[in-house]
Amino acid sequence: MNITERLEQYVKIHTTSDENSDTFPSTARQTDLAKVLVEQLKELGLRDAAIDPNGYVIAHLAANTDKDMPVVGLLAHMDTAPAMSGKDVKPRIVHYEGGDIALNEEKNIVLKAEDFPALEDVVGLDLMVTDGTTLLGADDKAGIAIIMAALQEIIEKDIPHGELAIGFSPDEEIGRGMDHFDVEAFGADFAFTLDGSRLGEVQYECFHAVSAKVDIQGVSVHPGSAKNKMINAIALGMELDRMLPEQMRPQYTEGYEGFFHLDQFHGSVDSAEMAYILRDFDAEKVQAMEEILRAAVEFLNKKYGERITLTLQESYRNMREKIEPHMDTIELCVEVMEKMGIEPVIEPIRGGTDGSRLSWMGLPTPNLFTGGMNFHGPYEYIPIQHMEAARDFLVALLAEMEKRA
């Protein structure tokens, strides 16, 4: 099975996670993919491949060298984002010669070169896309396909390597991917997530992340007799949002700039709920953002009476602090890419990965590219040649580690 066939098979399996679920994994359908992966790992010779009690697929490939080497972990996540449907995905391959791509002529869904200038970089390549009614799910089923294809090549060609630990996790997209991961049982000394985007990405920095839940209690009165009585919970929420720094919204930030993002807002006159995410690469700056939000809530509670409850919770931390002692591995990634003619792209993740959680759990885990673009929406695509480059890079990296051991 080649890498394209693997990805086509994986994206057709519905694995969307559910942030409103209280179970783990949040959806049973993620196990459908897990079962397929266990069987394929066993076919490759990883006899201990299994789904653990918490829904993680775990397997190990024994070293084929007698050198004393650290155990390297390779990880990707099985779920797809709830931001758009991941059911009945219809993948197809388009040989891209430039211009727009009609994803769905009947519904006039078009991947426009004007809107997505990165398409200029993939002219002449074969892109996997959908029919525009679902996301593709290359985030992160491309990562899974790359790991599986790399294992296949290492085993078939008997390429020297140290012991490898393989992990495929549920619920990464809803921030719970590592909630029940057993780092000790996994047994890796250092790991990589294959969950990046464009060709050449090597990422060892991510946001420091906090979630904020705002519960608002209004006073509902018939609008005809509401004067001096009604307190509209929706309007109160809008007032709160206006008090936050306008320039610190996602649409105005880039690079190392942090933001307040109003992610959800539901309600009525009587009550409303808001969900924010606070993001920055500096933990102290995120703490300052928390204080801004607390101050705004305190002001409005004095103005309207105690009507707003704010709950803050840390989601994940910047992994840089935990990976910096291992920068020799990052430098090796860059060296191997340059030898292969891949331009390394060292930049922070404006988001998080399972690796950010793992790094703070004692397993340093930077992130590597898959080649996918426009994740979480209908315009998602991935060049097959960039997936193949990720596979080849991974094989070359592991082989180089063995040479230098």
Please state the residue numbers annotated as binding site for Zn(2+). 77, 139, 173, 195, 376
Q: For residues 73 and 363, is the Cβ–Cβ distance under 8 A?
A: yes
Q: Which residue has the tokens 């074969």?
A: 126
Gap between the Cα atoms of 245 and 23, Å rounded: 36
Gap between the Cα atoms of 314 and 208, Å rounded: 8
Beta pairing, strands 190-194 & 72-77: parallel
Binding residues: 77, 139, 173, 195, 376
Beta pairing, strands 126-129 & 101-104: unpaired
The residues near 156 (Cβ < 8 Å, ≥ 6 apart) are none
Please indicate whether residue 172 is annotated as part of the active site. Answer: yes
Q: Which residue has the tokens 């998080």?
A: 352
List 79, 171, 205, 380, catalytic entry:
79
β partners of residue 346: 202
List 8, 140, 163, 172, catalytic entry:
172
Q: How many CA atoms lie within 13 A of 143 on its CB side?
A: 29
Instruction: Tell me how crowded residue 18 is: count the other CB atoms within 10 A of its CB.
Output: 17
In 3D space, the residue among 394, 388, 379 whose CA is nearest the CA of residue 111 turns out to be 379
Gap between the Cα atoms of 198 and 142, Å rounded: 12
Distance of CA 231 to the CA centre of its chain: 39
SS3 214: strand
β partners of residue 104: 109
Beta pairing, strands 57-61 & 72-77: unpaired
Active centre residues (catalytic): 79, 172
